[in-house]
Amino acid sequence: MNDLTSELNSVIESAEKKLRNITEEQSSKKPSPEKWSSKEILGHLIDSSVNNMIRFVKGQFKNDLVFCGYDQNKWVEVQNYQNAEWNFLIDLWKMNNLQIVRLIKLIPNDVLKRSTTNHNYDQIAWKELSKNESATLEYLIEDYIGHMKHHLNRIFS
């Protein structure tokens, strides 16, 4: 658990500094009409934090690890991240993730590592896990952090 919170804290701290160096104008640029701008990518990460926070809470008291998915493109579109203020998005992303760090610290180790084959990580995880493989809440948290790093790297490239 300590490794997960340390890693997430480290990602938040280093990414925030880099995000603050991106201007409003730069954050709004789309590489192409069908691709997300940095604002929209960060908005997607905000949506991911909201959905995963719910999973990290519910996963502690469910007998399975089956969770609702969400339409990422619709969420980004409906919330109009493209026209949001860049520093507001950074603040929201940071605060949501600091709450996730706090939440992860509170998850008992036996709950974090409890294993089940009754999951839908083959549908909702960034790095999909086969239905035949056992899943844990810890796997989902690691996957969440990997997903975040992937998208932050897209913003910084």
In the chain, the percentage of residues whose pLDDT exceeds 70 is 99
Mean pLDDT of the chain: 96
Q: Determine contact, residues 116/141, Cβ cutoff 8 Å.
A: no
Domains of the chain: 2-156 (1.20.120.450)
Give pLDDT tens digits for 99-156: 999 999 999 999 999 999 999 999 999 998 999 999 999 999 999 999 999 999 999 9
pLDDT of residue 53: 98
Q: How many residues does the chain have?
A: 157
Q: How confident is the model at residue 1 (pLDDT cuts 50, 70, 90)?
A: low
pTM for this predicted structure: 0.95
**Token pair for 58:** 């519910």
Dist CA 145 CA 57 (whole Å):
16
**Token pair for 120:** 């839908």
Q: Residue for token digits 């998850």?
A: 107
